[in-house]
Amino acid sequence: MSSKKPLNLVHLSTLVAVAILVGTELVGASWAAGWALGGLFQLDPAISRGIEIVFALAGLVGLYFFMRTAVRHEPIR
């Protein structure tokens, strides 16, 4: 059996905190951008919700790529 290194709790807690902070910023800002565009162009509420969802998914994708890079620079093992 190969032995695994123990978890580095300092790096792990840093990554969790960064994920919460950056995730809130990215997803919140992208969701708000979808809401603002729907209101600005006076779109139907269903279309506005669709735009909000698309923008929020784009924010989640951005968070995924950000966290992937963060874990590469702050390994937890």
What mean pLDDT is predicted for residues 63-72?
96
DSSP 43: -
Side chain identity, residue 21: L
pLDDT at 35: 95
Give the global pTM: 0.85
pLDDT band, residue 50 (cuts 50/70/90): very high
pLDDT of residue 4: 82
Torsion, CA 56, CA 58, CA 63, CA 64, rounded to 10: 120
How do residues 25-41 score in pLDDT, each as one tens digit? 999 999 999 999 999 99
Average pLDDT over residues 63-71: 96
The residue count of the chain comes to: 77
